[in-house]
Amino acid sequence: MTLLYFGYTHCPDVCPLTMSMLAQAVKALPAATVRDRSFVGLTGSRTAIIQAQRQVGAPPSVTEPLAKGSYGVDHGAFIYAYGPDDLAHIVYFQGVQPAALAADLRRLAAGALPAT
């Protein structure tokens, strides 16, 4: 099972909250459900990021350069849950509760959720 989230290091609110919620949900899963409880952050060129967002159906982010090499960003806060079959089964919106996410992930790991 893989969770995909497009987050940003300079996001002041949504990204830190979403990552915290994801951590809580993953910690609530049985050890056998999760092979590696770590998070992997990736980056790439603006073009590569937008291409990846389009491939999963995420709205492209909009960035705005700020002072001292920083940036502002406006982006969706979707979490994509992929099952062992490498298909996206669930798309979560901002505000999903950790307990609800963990319950779905248990079902997804067991193959009990259809692909979307």
CATH number, domain containing residue 92: 3.40.30.10
Q: Flag whether 116 is in a domain.
A: no
Number of separate domains in the chain? 1
| pTM metric for this prediction | 0.81
Tens of pLDDT along the chain (116 residues) come to 888 999 887 777 888 899 999 989 988 888 877 778 677 888 888 899 889 999 998 888 877 788 887 777 778 889 999 888 888 888 998 888 999 999 998 888 887 766 55
Q: Residues with Cβ < 8 Å from 65, sequence gap 6 or more?
A: 71
Q: Flag whether 87 is in a domain.
A: yes
Q: Which domain holds residue 39?
A: 2-109
Q: How many residues does the chain have?
A: 116
